[in-house]
Amino acid sequence: MHYKQGIPRDQLFLFSNCLDEIIPEDNPVRVIDVYVENLDIAKLGFKIPQLKTGTPPYRPAVLLKIYIYGHFERIRSSRRLENECNRNQEMKWLTEGLAPDFKTIADFRKNNRQGINNIFKEFLLFCHSMDLISLETTAVDGSKMRAQNSQNNIYKRETIDKVREKIQKKIEEYLEELDINDEKEANDIKLDNNEVKEIVEKLKKLKKHKSKVGEIKKKFEGDKELQIYFATDKDSRFQSDNGKIRAGYNVQIAGDNKNKLLIANDVTNDGNDKNQLKPMVRKVENIKQELEIKNKTELGADAGYYSEKNIIENINDKSIEVTVPRPKDVKTKEKTGRSKKNKVPAPGYEIDDFVYDKERGVYICPRGKKLVKTHKNPSTEKSGRKVFEYHCSDCKNCKKRHLCTKNKKGRCIRVSVNKAKIDNYLKRMQTDEKKKIVSKRKEIIEHPFGTIKRSLGFTYFMQKGIEKVKSEFSFICFIYNLKRVLNIVPVKELMVVLNKG
């Protein structure tokens, strides 16, 4: 049987094609090349190297192309990018045969955080010029991403002494081994030099670790409120993600309904989304101003963003109308029976089951008993919510008391000073228009995280520190948008638009 034969490795031959002919006309790498060449690198904040004597520097545009292509192909390591420059035909075409070393690539990323951060917005302006975004209906969502901080580099106040003792015990064990080796040497017993060197190296590492733990202990002693110290990435915090608790960040995105492009992003180390709605709304408003979009924007978020503070802060916003369902009104697979956090013993005696008598200024419970306001001025809860307290003094004679409260003093309800506004908001949430927005939110914003984490492979951060992480995530969102646009608009059509620009 005859098989196809390759070229003998010792045979000399010449390339019949130039490098440009190897890359097809519809290859996305051509879009990356033209797009970067059209950017005003200096205006975006990229540092332009000063020309000096000796070897000339690489153009920032070339290094940016390498960085974009690497993320595009799920390659973020500077060492791997160096390898790609030497072996990958697409990369060779993109860099015109240049192959910067890994340190040059890493330094470019380190020294150009501002420019890398700004490229997300710059590409968004390009998308708007192509009429790919409308900002009529948007949605916000959050997810967790791992930080560069292993569990071994997380220290707790209550265990720091035990960690130090454990290190000291190990040091003493190795010192004892060295003493035994000294005795053997004195008795002319041949020693394994490699084994001795290994023990000495381990001792050095342990002493260094002990010194580090000692410094961390001083931090605990100097700050009584500090309970956990993240040694590798000090800005990261424990995040709960699909039942796993690990050091990471809470990443936020806002997406547009027209083509599911991301219009805003942020990173925080808060463990939940309750305080993230306002910052994301402000970011969307800023984008609207940048793009000079004046239409009203509907912004949907899931129940994790619901808080009275968030609703009241945005209730009078004429530019963006926020739609966030109450957690108790949302049906989920996890919701079975009554919440364990619910302090009311039985259904039918929730605060919503109490009726306000406007004429007498009192609340009437389901059993017809009065609850009277205890103070003229409202009190402030930990969350910042201001409430009036209403207390029932006739609970002792109620046969259903055990269903209503466990409090020995009787039932007390806390009513927000903004209850009327919240009630109107919740009433609007029952309209078909609002229900459509709640339903549409999933279509707009839930799949981007799947693409970012699964298709693109960005499940963790390579940078350390929240400012660097913000820049890294902004670039990840840019890569998502670039991929998305290439799925919507053919490469040749994009090339025509870019070449005109």
**DSSP one-letter string for 281-328:** HHHHHHHHHHHT--S-EEEEE-GGG--HHHHHHHTT-SSEEEE---GG
Same structural domain, 213 and 90: no
User: Is 439 within a domain?
Assistant: yes
Three state DSSP letters for 13-68: CCCCCCHHHHCCCCCHHHHHHHHHHHCCHHHHCCCCCCCCCCCCCCCHHHHHHHHH
Same domain, 385 and 440: no
Q: Are 363 and 413 in contact (CB under 8 A)?
A: yes
Q: Domain for residue 78, yes or no?
A: yes
pLDDT-derived band of residue 40, with 50, 70 and 90 as boundaries?
Answer: very high
Give every CB contact of residue 5 below 8 A, 6+ residues apart in sequence: none
Query: Both 302 and 448 in a single domain?
Result: yes
> Is residue 31, in this structure, part of any structural domain at all?
yes
Question: Who has greater pLDDT, 371 or 191?
Answer: 371
Same domain, 320 and 397: no
Task: Report the pLDDT averaged over residues 220-239.
Answer: 86
Instruction: Decide which of 391, 425, 459 is a domain's last residue.
Output: 425
Global confidence as pTM: 0.85
Return the structure tokens found at 159.
């265990």
Helix (H, G, I), strand (E, B) or coil at 161: helix
* Number of domains within the chain: 4
Amino acid in the structure at residue 258: K
Together in a domain, 433 and 302? yes
Q: Which neighbouring-strand residues pair with 357? A: 362
Is residue 245 a part of any domain in this protein? no
Question: Is residue 333 very low, low, confident or very high in pLDDT (cuts 50, 70, 90)?
Answer: very low
Q: What is the pLDDT of residue 159?
A: 84
C-alpha distances in Å from residue 357, one per residue of 149, 364, 387, 405: 56, 7, 17, 21
- By the 10 Å C-beta count (0-12 exposed, 13-18 middle, 19+ buried), 177 is classed as middle
Last residue of a domain, one of 403, 425, 447: 425
Domain range for 53 = 19-111
pLDDT at 184 over 90: no
Task: State the burial class of residue 453 (Cβ atoms within 10 Å of its Cβ: 0-12, 13-18, 19+).
Answer: middle
| Pairing relationship of beta strands 154-156 and 228-230 according to DSSP bridges | antiparallel
Residue carrying the six token digits 């609002």: 434
Domain match, 215 and 262 both: no
Cα separation, 127 vs 117, whole angstroms? 17
Radius of gyration from C-alpha coordinates of the chain: 31
Q: Determine, yes or no, domain membership for 1.
A: no
For 264, phi then psi, to 5°, come to: -160, 155
pLDDT by residue (tens digit) across 405-431?
Answer: 988 888 999 999 998 899 999 999 999
Whether pLDDT at 65 is above 50: yes
What's the CA gap between 269 and 476, in Å, rounded? 18
Residue 100: inside a domain, yes or no? Answer: yes
- Best mean pLDDT range from 44-53, 308-317, 440-449: 440-449
Please say whether the beta carbons of 332 and 442 come within 8 A.
no
Which residues have C-beta within 8 Å of that of residue 201, sequence separation ≥ 6?
none
Is the same domain home to 213 and 358?
Answer: no
**Phi, psi dihedral angles at 195 (to 5 degrees):** -65, -40
Residue 391: helix, strand or coil by DSSP?
strand
Report the distance separating Cα 367 and Cα 251, nearest Å. Answer: 47
Question: For residue 452, what are the CA distances in angstroms to 142, 241, 429, 488?
Answer: 12, 16, 31, 17
Nearest CA to 23 among 99, 96, 86? 96
Query: Which H/E stretch holds residue 426?
Result: helix 419-428
Q: Does a structural domain hold residue 487?
A: no
Q: Are residues 414 and 433 in the same domain?
A: no
Percent of the chain with pLDDT over 70: 94
What is the number of other CB atoms lying within 10 angstroms of the CB of residue 479?
A: 21
Q: Are residues 405 and 460 in the same domain?
A: no
Among 425, 458, 490, where does a domain finish? 425
Residues 97 and 214 in one domain: no
CB 276 within 8 A of CB 305: yes
The two structure tokens encoding residue 386: 């201001």
316 and 391 share one domain: no
Helix, strand, coil content of the chain in percent (nearest 5)? 50, 15, 35
Look at the alpha carbons of 129, 131, 137, 141 in this order and tell me if their dihedral is positive or negative: negative
Are 365 and 403 contained in the same domain? yes
Which of 125-129, 262-266, 364-368, 395-399 has the least mean pLDDT? 395-399
Report whether pLDDT(189) > 90.
no
Residue 329 confidence (pLDDT) above 70: yes
Dist CA 220 CA 234 (whole Å)? 14
Domain contains 56: yes
